[in-house]
Amino acid sequence: MLLVAGVLGALALALAWPVPVLLSRAAWPARAPAVALALWQSIALAGGLSMIGCLLALGSEPAGSLPAAVAQLAPALLEGPIPPAYGALAIAALAIAGAVALLLMLNLAFTAVRAERERRRQHQLVDVLSDPLPGDPRTRVLAHPVPLAYCVPGIRTTTVLTDGLIEVLDRDELAAVIAHERTHLDQLHHLVRLAFRAWHSAIPWFPIANRAERSVVTLTEMLADDGARRQVGTDALRRALLRVGDAGESEAFPDAAPGASPDAAMLAARLERLDRLEAAAVDRRVEDGLARTLPGLVLAASVVLVAVPLAGYAAVLGILP
């Protein structure tokens, strides 16, 4: 059991600092955002499972498995005393594991409830204050001079534009913006962002949680760009991004650092997206070559990352010897 705890602890440490740092600084995710997003999700899931699993393995070591430890400790909660084989370290490990798991699950639930309430409020406001775009009832137009575009997910999805945006962009550019926002909705990017927002809010003092959320937001923006490029083309999207920037997206970007403005993170992501669009327009062959070779390796690594802590849990539960 100590070996299991050591392996899971080492994996948790690796996924808590060096691996996310290297991934956030790498250049390849811009060319393969879908597989990079899958890798970020695997890192977050495997990191949480490994951290909790390490603590459970440490706490269960005197009994040899978690079910046996629970069977020995449960009567002590009512009758006492705690079996002498369980020292302070084992009891603390089990208590911390339970507290961390409970914190993460409750925070995810609270974040989801808050997000759903905000979506309902947004839908109500949009219905009252906007009018349907002629010929496209799924797109609503607000009478506002500031160029703005955003999407409201939910059972009933809505894309929202402002008069100011429609006046600034030509037809192709406007179509690119609409396609970008609808790709967010079609690919359910709000659910991916929700999970990382919950992780960040649960441990806001943990710098990797902030780094992970920022990276995930940027990757979902790139995926939405790809959806717009497939429908309208790269040039129209690039012109629209140059003209109106990330209008409507600023709230999606967490602070780059404590006390920093989210606008700085948004600007950095916008420049990265523009560089990516420029590179795609200049040399598509490089992107296609990487897209053929990289996904398999990254997806395999993602599966392995999650499989290791799951095997550890099987050992902790006594399923594996």
Predicted confidence at residue 249, as pLDDT, reads 60
Percent of the chain residues past pLDDT 70, beyond the cut: 90
Ranked by mean pLDDT, the top range of 206-215, 247-256, 308-317 is 308-317
Q: Tokens for 80?
A: 């006492």
> Angle, nearest 10°, between helix axes 33-60 and 88-129?
150
Q: Classify strands 158-162 and 149-152 as parallel, antiparallel or unpaired.
A: antiparallel
What is the Cα–Cα distance from 182 to 198, expressed in whole angstroms? Answer: 24
* Residues paired with 202 in a beta bridge: none
Local structure of 259: helix, strand or coil: coil
What is the Cα–Cα distance from 249 to 20, expressed in whole angstroms? Answer: 24
Predicted confidence at residue 289, as pLDDT, reads 56
Query: What confidence category does residue 205 fall into, taking pLDDT thresholds of 50, 70 and 90?
Result: confident
Is it the case that residue 207 has pLDDT exceeding 80? Answer: no
Predicted confidence at residue 79, as pLDDT, reads 83
Asked if the bond preceding 321 is cis, omega within 30° of 0, the reply is no
Is it the case that residue 77 has pLDDT exceeding 90? Answer: no
Is it the case that residue 285 has pLDDT exceeding 70? Answer: no
Lay out the sheet containing 158-162: strands in order across.
130-133, 136-142, 158-162, 149-152
User: CA separation (Å) from 320 to 86, 164, 285, 316, 317?
Assistant: 23, 62, 47, 8, 8
The per-residue DSSP string of 32-45 comes to -HHHHHHHHHHHHH
> What is the identity of the amino acid at 307?
A
- Tens digit of pLDDT for each residue in 258-279? 444 555 667 788 889 999 998 8
What is the Cα–Cα distance from 214 to 254, expressed in whole angstroms? Answer: 6
Predicted confidence at residue 80, as pLDDT, reads 77
> Angle, nearest 10°, between helix axes 262-282 and 207-232?
40
φ, ψ dihedrals at 138, nearest 5°: -80, -10
Q: Classify strands 130-133 and 136-142 as parallel, antiparallel or unpaired.
A: antiparallel
Residue 52 exposure: Cα atoms within 13 Å on the Cβ side = 17
pLDDT (mean) for 183-194? 96
Query: What confidence category does residue 257 fall into, taking pLDDT thresholds of 50, 70 and 90?
Result: very low
Is it the case that residue 292 has pLDDT exceeding 80? Answer: no
Q: What angle do CA 37, 273, 26 make, to 5 degrees?
A: 50
Q: Tokens for 68?
A: 């046996």
Predicted confidence at residue 290, as pLDDT, reads 58
**Eight-state DSSP code of residue 250:** G
- Tens digit of pLDDT for each residue in 23-73? 999 999 998 999 999 999 999 999 999 999 999 999 999 999 999 999 999
Burial class (CB in 10 A: 0-12, 13-18, 19+), 141: buried
Predicted confidence at residue 281, as pLDDT, reads 63
Closest CA to 50 of 234, 319, 304, 238: 304
Closest CA to 177 of 247, 100, 269: 247
Query: Which pairs with CB-CB distance under 8 Å and at least 24 residues apart come from 138-141?
Result: 138/182, 139/178, 141/166
What is the Cα–Cα distance from 191 to 109, expressed in whole angstroms? Answer: 12
> What is the identity of the amino acid at 159?
T
Contacts of 311 (CB under 8 A, 6+ apart): 320
